[in-house]
Amino acid sequence: MKRPLLEINNLSVGFKINGSKQKQSWAVNDLSIRAYPGEILTIVGASGSGKSVLASAILGLLPGNAISSGEIIYDGKNVDKKLLDELRGEEITFIPQSISSLDPLVKVGKQVRNFASDDETIKKQRKIFKEFGLNRSVEKSYPFQLSGGMARRVLISTTMMKNPRLIIADEPTPGLDIQSAKKTMDYFKSFAKKDKAVILITHDIDLAIHYSDKLAIFYGGEIVEITKARYFHHGIQYLKHPYTRALYRSLPTNGFKPIPGSQPIPDKENQGCIFRDRCECKEQICDHSVNTQKFEDEMVRCNVDFAGKKYKLSV
């Protein structure tokens, strides 16, 4: 078994409300994931569910009022601030959701090249821009002169200029035309194949199942299931958690059946199942506790006994 490139254990992230130590709101609760070399691991969850907070926590970019606990291990080493400062932008690169991370006062070609002006770097940057349909005039433009889709392609080009081992991409494709979105995802695929890893964060389940190796299903600040992306192609009988199964049924190809209700706010004090108010399989015990079950490299947080003989969910 390979060693994970990135391992996150029991991560919780919250925010102090109005500076109070007593009043806190939580975005991520007791989250554990592993990203292995050679794989795209996608964290899938609804918009506004706190997925981006997870990216900020991994990269040490949380705001000052954040509180966090848990453990992050990169390539076998415990990640502290010093190590993170060394890794960020070098071994670990980040494609943010917001295009405002481009420096508004620097021409984009210069930014993508990280101010290098040697012939080889310029040639590489132009080749990448060409692949993404960005013509020569773009490199001399300032970010405000670009459309949203162009700015996003510039951000992705920045990552391609470097030689990272791990890419964390937060919703990298919205705003891209189909061809650029496909090119981006193909790039992630070929990147991962070089014994590197990608953590993709998205609300787009369709995109996730087509390009990922594993899916971590994020709901109410928790990962409720880690499963293989190909199971979504094989059929609902391969999926375990009732929320994952609801996601399957919500796909246009599977009848587009939404589930009633809405996602709850994460609550660290709550010991019961985060999905219980919407779950058709709920039992009394689900109000008080939830069982974490592990199957090789899969995981499901649910009280249904999936290993037991009686286990059978409706298809």
Identify the DSSP state of 19. G
Which residue, 129 or 248, has its beta carbon nearer to ligand SF4? Answer: 248
Which residue, 37 or 242, has its beta carbon nearer to ligand SF4? Answer: 242
Q: How many chain residues are in contact with ligand SF4, going by CB under 6 A? A: 14
Angle (CA) 221-308-217 rounded to 5° is 20
Closest approach, Cβ 263 to ligand SF4, in A, equals 13
Closest approach, Cβ 262 to ligand SF4, in A, equals 16
- By CB under 6 A, tell whether 45 contacts ligand SF4: no
Which residue, 130 or 288, has its beta carbon nearer to ligand SF4? Answer: 288
Using alpha carbons, select from 218, 300, 222 the residue that is nearest to residue 266.
222
From residue 267 to residue 286, what is the string marking binding to ligand SF4 with x (rule CB under 6 A)?
------x-xx--x-xxx--x
Tokens in use for 158? 């920045």
Closest approach, Cβ 49 to ligand SF4, in A, equals 16
Closest approach, Cβ 83 to ligand SF4, in A, equals 37
Closest approach, Cβ 34 to ligand SF4, in A, equals 22
Closest approach, Cβ 84 to ligand SF4, in A, equals 34
Closest approach, Cβ 258 to ligand SF4, in A, equals 17
Which residue, 173 or 303, has its beta carbon nearer to ligand SF4? Answer: 303
- By CB under 6 A, tell whether 240 contacts ligand SF4: no
Tokens in use for 234? 């094989």
Query: Rounded CA gap, 303 and 299, in Å?
Result: 12
Break the chain down into helix, strand, coil percent, rounded to 5.
35, 25, 40
- By CB under 6 A, tell whether 242 contacts ligand SF4: yes
Q: What part of residues 169-198 is at the interface with ligand SF4 (CB under 6 A)?
A: none
- By CB under 6 A, tell whether 303 contacts ligand SF4: yes
Closest approach, Cβ 224 to ligand SF4, in A, equals 7
The DSSP code sequence of 135-154 is -HHHHTS-GGGS-HHHHHHH
Identify the DSSP state of 238. G
- By CB under 6 A, tell whether 87 contacts ligand SF4: no
Query: Rounded CA gap, 4 and 238, in Å?
Result: 24
SS in 3 state form for 181-217?
A: HHHHHHHHHHHHHCCCEEEEEECCHHHHHHHCCEEEE
Which residue, 194 or 309, has its beta carbon nearer to ligand SF4? Answer: 309
Tokens in use for 49? 């569910």
Tokens in use for 82? 């010093």
Contacts 24+ apart (CB under 8 A), 126-133: 128/157, 128/160, 128/161, 129/157, 131/183, 132/156, 132/157, 132/180, 132/183, 133/179, 133/180
Residues that bind ligand SF4 (CB under 6 A): 241-242, 273, 275-276, 279, 281-283, 286, 290, 302-304
